[in-house]
Amino acid sequence: MSSNPKSLSFQDYAVRAAKTARYPSRGSGSLVYPVLGLTGEAGEVAEKVKKIIRDRDGVVGDQRDELVKELGDVLWYLAACCHELDVPLELIASVNLAKLESRAQRGVIGGDGDNR
């Protein structure tokens, strides 16, 4: 993997990723296929990390490139979910940062609950 990749905006990524999207009911607002893909790919990331912990004492090392590829698949499915919701990836990122910054300011980063 290149350590100095070309800068790419979320919008550019979403447009280019959409050109590769082929799945049932694409564009219908149905989240079933992209959400199943998202959870599957996130599971693959978790599985690789589990094996890094088990086999490599938690040291990522030469598994970094494989993790980068799997995280890319997670991003692709996230973009597909956004497409179905007609929501830009930038909105997801900005809403998430606002939520986290609010939690940090209020001292509730840790703990349970979605609406803390």
| pLDDT, tens digit (0-9, with 9 covering 90-100), for 75-85 | 999 999 999 99
Predicted local confidence at residue 77, as pLDDT: 98
Q: In the chain, where are the structural domains located?
A: 10-87
Predicted local confidence at residue 1, as pLDDT: 56
Handedness of CA 114, 72, 46, 50 (dihedral sign): negative
Handedness of CA 66, 68, 71, 77 (dihedral sign): negative
How far apart are alpha carbons 86 and 89 in whole angstroms?
Answer: 10
Six-digit token string for 83: 């497409």
What are the residue ranges in the chain where pLDDT is below 70? 1-4
pTM attached to this predicted model: 0.89
How far apart are alpha carbons 95 and 54 in whole angstroms?
Answer: 35
User: What Rg, from alpha-carbon coordinates, does the chain have?
Assistant: 17
**How many other CB atoms are there within 10 angstroms of residue 83's CB atom?**
19
Question: Cβ(83)–Cβ(108) under 8 Å?
Answer: no
Burial label for 63, CB within 10 Å (0-12, 13-18, 19+), is middle
